Amino acid sequence: AVLSLEKKITASGGKIFATNGEKADFQTTLKKCKEVGGSIATPRNPGENDAILYFVKNFNTYAYLGIKESLIPSNFQFLDGTQLSYANWHLNEPSGKGKEECVEMYTDGTWNDKKCNQNRLIVCQF
């Protein structure tokens, strides 16, 4: 069997982004990416955001990003605890005020805060 990677792998800024087309909740996405030696896709600039958007558009579904709400409601940070140096929030987002701790990417590339228990496209980075 030949490994088919068409529309399942792309690169930006020295990072490789990949998906298997499966969906999962946030915790499972973290686990699955770690199992394959990567981490959840985390856009740190417009180019990386576009690389993740490529999958979101191809599979016509949303994807979780490696960004979580800090202890301060509506204040989001990277999973390593550093402040966001890049953001692409949708108009009037984030709006969950502590009730939506995860971040998903819409099919237009903008971000929305969302509960972590939804199934979203698994996109990992390496």
Flag whether 83 is in a domain: no
What's the residue count for the chain?
126
What is the domain-level CATH number for residue 61?
A: 3.10.100.10
Query: Do the domain assignments include residue 84?
Result: no
Domain membership of residue 45 (yes or no) is yes
Q: How would you write the pLDDT of the chain (126 residues) with one tens digit per residue? A: 555 666 798 999 899 999 999 999 999 999 999 999 999 999 999 999 999 999 999 999 999 999 999 998 889 999 999 999 999 999 999 999 889 999 999 999 999 999 999 999 999 999
Strand partners, 67: 78
In a domain, 35, yes or no: yes
Q: What's the domain range around 36?
A: 19-72+89-125
Angle of CA points 96, 69, 14, to nearest 5°: 125
Question: Does residue 13 sit within a domain?
Answer: no
In a domain, 61, yes or no: yes
Asked if residue 12 is part of any domain, the answer here is: no
30 residue type, one letter: L
What's the pTM value of the predicted model, to 2 decimals?
0.92
Q: How far apart are CA 9 and CA 111, in angstroms?
A: 21
In a domain, 78, yes or no: no
What domain count does the chain have? 1
